[in-house]
Structure 1
Amino acid sequence: MARERIEEVALLRALAFLAIVMQHSIAEYIYRADILQPDAVMLGMLFHFTRFGTPTFVFLSGVILFYNYTDKLDYGSYARKRFKEIFAPFLVWTVIYWATISLVMDYSFADLNTWRELGRQLLKPTYGYHLWFILMIFQFYLLLPWLLKLAAPLRRLATGRPDRAFQRTVWLLVIAAAAYGVLMWFSYYRAGAAASAAGGLWEWLLVYRNMWFVFYFFYFMLGAVCAYGLARFREAAVRSLVWNGLLFIGLYVWIGYELLGLSMQDMKLGASTYLRPITFVLIVSQLLAAYGAVVVLDRHGGVFKKMLAFVGKHSFGGFLAHAYILMFVSFYTRQVELAGYHLPAAVLTFVVVAAASIGLSKAASLVPFGWLLVGSQGRWRRKPTAGTGAGG
């Protein structure tokens, strides 16, 4: 039986993509030596407004995987598909970023160290600094058979008596959120000291904790709840839209106050990290409010919905490409005196990078083997399909 298409996923994916592009555009300007305090303050506040981007991508991955693979999973076929759609573009873009930086820095391709650096980039990307997310989210993909078994209670809750199932699901989420909050407390307040004391492998694991799936498990679990109880989740998100919005505003002001209090000489954006307990609560409230908003938007339609749907459709390729576009934009902006204009420069950069990245993703989706750059939205080798005369 054909499943219902979850239209709001593309809309929410677009918002998450735009938030990430905004974050990276802000980071390009906020630490420049000539920035004035008003611009720095506004960019800092705008930065922590967009922190929901990465966790929302994790949430949406959970929604899609648990929604599509509730029945029997052919792991071999599934793994090949995910490698082709997700990991192959990661490999290609890692090489692109590595080759470009090597050329700009005039590294010799005859030097063995240049090729060793490619190996390091495949394990811990820094040239394509956003590609760490692919390595992290792929851990969820590889562990899906076991995660499906762990999520079986959620599936039973979602398919049981509606009221009782909903109440139990809420309590389960509360318990999971509390456990995740403790993990975030450890991550933000204790992990640094623990890493130094541990040494060896444990030090490495803790230092690079942002790359491990366990530090994002709550968002993935929330995605499973959404997938298994889609209609009820939509209803709850819409009904709580105002309350989640008010909670987000309160936390946004609180964290903004802390951010400004810590930022005496320059902005300390670490106060807005999503591996912090209070930021976790802020992100969840913002994510749920955004979900309710896109459900309402989907019901009413309009030009804005069509625009977000287009961006969401091509957001994976745009995500992979946006740091590359930003690299070329910054090559020119770093040569310009911008004192007093860093805020409008960051916003303009965001518009240019987002538009160019989605345009590049769309263009790549139209050419043969475009999937190597943009994943499943790119063209595969087409074979005529009976009855249509076109590839599917």
Structure 2
Amino acid sequence: MGVKRMDDTSPAATQPEIIKAVAVTAVMMQLILSVLLKQFPDVSHRIEIGMLYNLAKFSAPAFIFAILYDVAQLRDVKYGHYVWHKAKEIIGPYLFWTTVYILTVNAGGYEQVGDVVQAFLLGTAAPHLWYTVMMFQYHLLIPLVTALALLMIRNRKKAAVAWVVSIIVYAILILLYDRYVLLDLLHPDLVYTDRIFAMYGLFALLGMGTSIYKEACLVWLDKMKWALLPIGVLLFIWVNRELFAYGFEDMNLLKSSYLKPSMVLFNMALILLLYAGATGLIRMNVRFLPAFRWIAKYAFRAYLASYFALNLTIWMMGSYVKEMPLAISIVFLLICTAILAFTMVYYIEKLCKAVMRLLRPRNHQGH
């Protein structure tokens, strides 16, 4: 790919791979809960759905953390080669699944060509596609990312200053977003500012810092992980109180935004706990570590396919979705959605490779 890694040695699965596997499950959980909210009108059910939704609301920040954790290890990046590789890896599947959603889930839902263009550019063809638009920007900024990583390594004092400035700027961004987007209905188009990479910059910095200062971070986490648990619980209570303050009859899960102060802090604590947990699994060398690596390999593509898989599952189940108890519906839909999503992307990959093998001899005739 035209890059070198600072350290290519790894166990059966790395912390970022474990976090990606957990994060893609959280994405599916959010999609499922959004659907079930319409099927279960009782207040008790809505409280359960809201709490589970908030608990799963770490997926996008966790993905950014894990991606930048890995990217921080890259050296000697050839920009054109790197971006082209990432475009094939990310934008190709994104365009494919956006087209699928436009033609299936949203068939007939676009009145103008501009609406279709917006669906591709802003990721509005499905409720989870926006993340790809935001995440790919980090790959486009790879020179800045690697320069910042080198600064963290070579000059910790300057890196500390950069961290402080970044945290202050990020706090201002989140407070402005909370005031003028989440709480101000007069500017609805501002909601698309969540596609800007900087809105998740703190999680990117956390991933890079944890990667570069890995040993120091692990020592700190070993000391602080039990303190993070009660902090996480208190933050979880906070985000739930904010969501439930809007009422239960017209509960809107969109109010549970990644980009409100309470959720940012909660996700920071939760990601650090996930990292500590992943480190514990690696230290114990549990037998199922390779499974995390396999899931992480297909996590992004399964994430793209998950909404289609969920809709297909609900279509096959019909009215049984709302006839089952809530807990059983969640578990059943999660298992079916995950199996369908990963199966689809696995066989799509095999099909693409088979087609490439058929085409390769023609392209290499005479060699």
After TM superposition, the score normalised by the length of structure 2 is 0.85
Partner of 1:24: 31
Describe the superposition over 1:241-260 as per-residue Cα deviations: whole angstroms up to 9, x where unpaired: 21222211111122223333
Describe the superposition over 1:138-191 as per-residue Cα deviations: whole angstroms up to 9, x where unpaired: 111112213333444322246xxxxxx7xx867764553343222211101234
| 2:167 aligned to which of 158, 167, 177 | 177
Describe the superposition over 1:88-125 as per-residue Cα deviations: whole angstroms up to 9, x where unpaired: 111111122222246x54x8xxxx96765542321123
Could you tell me which amino acid in structure 1 is paired with residue 180 of structure 2?
Answer: R
Partner of 2:86: 82
Spell out the pairing of 1:59-78 with structure 2 (5 A cutoff).
59-68=65-74, 71-78=75-82
Could you tell me which amino acid in structure 2 is paired with residue 90 of structure 1?
Answer: Y
Partner of 2:330: 346
Could you tell me which amino acid in structure 2 is paired with residue 147 of structure 1?
Answer: V
Could you tell me which amino acid in structure 2 is paired with residue 4 of structure 1?
Answer: T
Distance 2:182 2:203 in 1: 23
| 1:266 aligned to which of 225, 228, 250 | 250
Partner of 1:186: 176
Matched residues, number? 354
**Displacement, 1:30?**
0.9
**Displacement, 1:193?**
7.7
User: Identity across aligned pairs (percent)?
Assistant: 21
Q: Where does structure 2 lack aligned partners over 5 or more consecutive residues? A: 1-5, 362-367
1:329 aligns with 2:329: no
Describe the superposition over 1:66-95 as per-residue Cα deviations: whole angstroms up to 9, x where unpaired: 212xx3221111111111111111111112
- Tell me if the contact between 2:79 and 2:143 (Cα under 8 Å) persists in the aligned partners: yes
- Tell me if the contact between 1:181 and 1:280 (Cα under 8 Å) persists in the aligned partners: no
Could you tell me which amino acid in structure 1 is paired with residue 50 of structure 2?
Answer: G
Q: Where does structure 1 lack aligned partners over 5 or more consecutive residues? A: 159-164, 198-202, 373-378, 384-392
Partner of 1:313: 297
Partner of 1:218: 202
Could you tell me which amino acid in structure 1 is paired with residue 41 of structure 2?
Answer: I
Distance 2:28 2:140 in 1: 27
Spell out the pairing of 1:350-389 with structure 2 (5 A cutoff).
350-369=334-353
Partner of 2:153: 155
Partner of 1:200: none
Distance 1:382 1:243 in 2: 56
Distance 2:164 2:233 in 1: 21
Distance 1:137 1:370 in 2: 29
Partner of 1:387: none
1:246 aligns with 2:252: no
- Tell me if the contact between 1:19 and 1:53 (Cα under 8 Å) persists in the aligned partners: yes
Q: What is the CA RMSD across the aligned residues, in angstroms?
A: 3.1
Distance 2:152 2:15 in 1: 22
Partner of 2:136: 138
After TM superposition, the score normalised by the length of structure 1 is 0.80
